[in-house]
Amino acid sequence: MRRKEIIRPDLNPNVSVDCVIFGFDFQQLKVLLIEREGDFPDEKSRLALPGNLIYDDENLNMAVNRVLKELTGLDNIFLKQIGAFGGVDRISKETDKEWLRSIRAHPDARVITVAYYSLVRISDYLPAASSFAVTANWYNVDEIKDLAFDHYTILKTGLNQLRREISFRPIGFNLMPEKFTLGQLQRMYEAILGRSLDKRNFRRKIMKINILSATDEKEYDVPHKPAQYFKFNEANYKSLVETGFDNFSF
Amino acid sequence: MRRKEIIRPDLNPNVSVDCVIFGFDFQQLKVLLIEREGDFPDEKSRLALPGNLIYDDENLNMAVNRVLKELTGLDNIFLKQIGAFGGVDRISKETDKEWLRSIRAHPDARVITVAYYSLVRISDYLPAASSFAVTANWYNVDEIKDLAFDHYTILKTGLNQLRREISFRPIGFNLMPEKFTLGQLQRMYEAILGRSLDKRNFRRKIMKINILSATDEKEYDVPHKPAQYFKFNEANYKSLVETGFDNFSF
DNA sequence: GCAAAAGTGTTAACTGTACACCCATGA
DNA sequence: TCATGGGTGTACAGTTAACACTTTTGC
């Protein structure tokens, strides 16, 4: 018998939030998944998106921020709603049903989940901060083929939305450290979009939208010409995010 | 005392669906709203999006299709999820609270609503088919300034999504009758986008994506050169919807 | 004949895309 | 000196956007 989630009378059995937490390690797009305890047919179906039921005195934003805070220790993460999923048919896998019986006060309740994707700097994430009674790890997005419940559908939907959104707003900066090179930035776009981009065209385009400032720092100790570090120009970014911009795609 | 909604024990008090039902009368973009009974400070806040709580044995799709069927008598309407809204702070208006007390079994429950927009041919809609105990009418979208609860926010969000979507897929055909002129089609795009379009550029673009077939019929009894009627070419449309298309904006 | 919407091409500006070489550094 | 990724410009193709006149009909 595994231990039940903290059971409060005001935990609503019908509405949950789930998070697709994206990160970027300068090579690949990552997603933070939790590993469930128990017996599962394979390793993939053991993995799940972090999420939880919501409390009766919370709205959706409060709930998803609480889940993120509990898992990552982080506040004020970039968040965007993917949408609402499901109903009675969400929980079709027998192992998922068993697992719910082991941790839920109302294991058979129909749960509608509201999913969000969030973008975090992997370096800010401290696994130790987690108050979840689970282990969480970063996985390469393109290696994930299945997940618990309908979480794989949610992941794919979130990734598609991120791909679309990044063509309209430079939200990808939430994945980057304060200082970064143009090469790193390009690799982030390539990781999200899943295709390679032309270096010269990328640079022309990203410089044109005017949200980067060059710093006077350079890489060092690299076995090639050291790249210049850039910072993200917040003022220009904000006005851009508000108006959106028409033409921004790679 | 007004009559309560049909109260079934399996009506979930925490999750509802709401619909932004768009129509087009060849002049303006319309939205189907219900008029609530009772005392309200002004006519606008009396109006609301059609919607209802969901049953425990329904998933979200079943619920929204049920609501649409009950209200419009129509099946198989084009539907797209806008997203999930709210929590405790959705019901901030005192008159809304009073109204809920008059019709709900659990008037104070926190309700998360999942909103959808749908596109219907106004000519298919039969007000008489409605089994809702309310009156429903079409209103010009651009004249709506406020609605019950957070429904105005939902309406604006849905309209923005429709505007964006219509630049990627020709979903607007769900608003049109079987045969239509290019002028009518252009007015539909203008009504949705809220701006006027160049006639020649519009025609070139819409013909290029190859989803229209000319019929041999023309307008008659019109005080100007009669326009040719076109039909929507479903086969081409379907392949297009599946692949999406890159370049389609006016 | 007049009012009203249908129908029809061309041009200039801009945007996207493809492409190749030298540079600075560590090993 | 070699391997590695940084940094840079140009030319062609395709797309967008602006623009005006003739046609057909009802009245």
Q: Is the CB of B94 under 7 A from strand D?
A: no
pLDDT at B128: 64
Q: Strand pairing of B11-24 and B112-119?
A: parallel
Read off φ and ψ for residue A31, nearest 5 degrees.
Answer: -135, 140
Q: Give A82→chain B minimum CA distance, Å.
A: 7
Higher pLDDT, B109 or A203: A203
Q: Is residue A197 part of a domain?
A: yes
The 10s digit of each residue's pLDDT in A126-144 is 776 566 567 899 999 999 9
Structural domain harbouring A181? 177-243
Residues A232, A135 share a domain: no
* Residues of A (94-123) whose Cβ lies below 8 Å from B: 110, 112, 114
Report if residue A250 sits inside a domain. no
Strands A51-55 and A11-24: antiparallel
As a rounded value in angstroms, the CA-to-C1' distance for A111 and C25 is 57
**Residue of B171, B147, B164, B194 whose CA lies nearest to B48:** B147
Same domain membership, residue B72 and residue B146: yes
| Residue from B10, B14, B90 to probe the interface with A (highest A Cβ count within 10 Å) | B14
Q: Structurally, how many domains does chain B consist of?
A: 2
Asked if residue B175 lies in contact with residue B119, where contact means CB atoms within 8 angstroms, the answer is yes
Instruction: State the pTM of this model.
Output: 0.92
Distance between CA B169 and CA B246 in Å, rounded? 9
Same domain (yes/no): B183, B235: yes
- Name the least confident of B18-22, B29-33, B86-90: B86-90
B63 contacts on A by Cβ (under 8 Å): 87
Q: Can you give the C-alpha Rg of chain A in angstroms? A: 20
Give chain A residues 76-115 with Cβ within 7 A of strand C: none
- Report how far residue A236's alpha carbon sits from residue A228's, in angstroms, rounded to the nearest whole number: 20
Tell me which residue in A62, A83, A110 faces B87 most closely, judged by beta carbons: A62
CA B107/CA B14 separation, integer angstroms: 10
| Higher-pLDDT residue of A235, B241 | A235
On chain C, which bases lie within 7 A of the protein's CB atoms?
3-10, 15-20, 23-27
| Mean pLDDT computed over B133-142 | 88
Minimum-distance CB partner of B84 among A81, A88, A89? A81
pLDDT of residue A158: 98
Say if the Cβ atoms of B110 and A56 lie within 8 Å: yes
**Does the distance separating the beta carbons of A112 and B87 come in below 8 Å?**
no
Amino acid at A237: Y
Contact B112 A85 (CB under 8 A): no
Q: Please state the rounded mean pLDDT for residues A43-71.
A: 90
Q: b/e per residue, A241-250, with b = 16+ CB within 10 A?
A: eeeeeeebeb
Among residues B68, B112, B105, B73, which one has the least CA distance to residue B91?
B112
Distance from CA of A156 to the nearest CA of B (A): 16
A62 touches chain B (CB under 8 A): yes
Residues B156 and B236 in one domain: no
Contact criterion met (CB < 8 Å) for B60 and A112? yes
Q: Residue B203: inside a domain, yes or no?
A: yes
Q: Which nucleotides of D are covered by protein (CB under 7 A)?
A: 3-10, 15-20, 23-27
| CA separation for the pair A148, A205 (Å, rounded) | 39
In this complex, the answer to whether residue A226 has its CB under 7 A from any atom of chain D, a nucleic strand, is: yes
Task: Tell me the CA–C1' distance in angstroms for A27 and C13.
Answer: 39
Question: Is the same domain home to B154 and B207?
Answer: no
Q: What is the mean pLDDT of chain A?
A: 88
pLDDT digits (tens, 9 = 90+) for A201-249: 999 999 998 899 999 999 999 999 999 999 998 887 777 666 555 455 5
Beta partners for A33?
Answer: A137
Give how far A189 is from chain B: nearest CA, Å.
Answer: 18
Could you write out the three-class secondary structure of B173-202? HHHCCCEECHHHHHHHHHHHHCCCCCHHHH
What type of residue sits at position A227? A
Distance of alpha carbon B220 from the chain centroid: 31
In this predicted structure, what is the pLDDT of residue B212? 94
A102 vs B3: which has the higher pLDDT:
A102
Check which CATH number belongs to the domain holding B186 and give it.
1.10.10.10
Gap from A105 CA to chain B (nearest CA, Å): 17
- Residue A135 · residue A34 · CB < 8 Å: yes
What pLDDT does A243 receive? Answer: 59
| Cβ pair A89:B63 closer than 8 A | no
To which residue do tokens 């081409």 refer? B236
pLDDT of B4 strictly over 60: no
Query: How many Cα atoms within 13 Å fall on the side-chain side of residue B91?
Result: 18
For residues A160 and A196, membership in a common domain is answered with: no
A190 falls within a domain: yes
pLDDT recorded at residue B63? 95
Structural domain includes residue A172: no
- Domain boundary pick from B127, B145, B165: B165
Q: What pLDDT shows up at residue B1?
A: 39
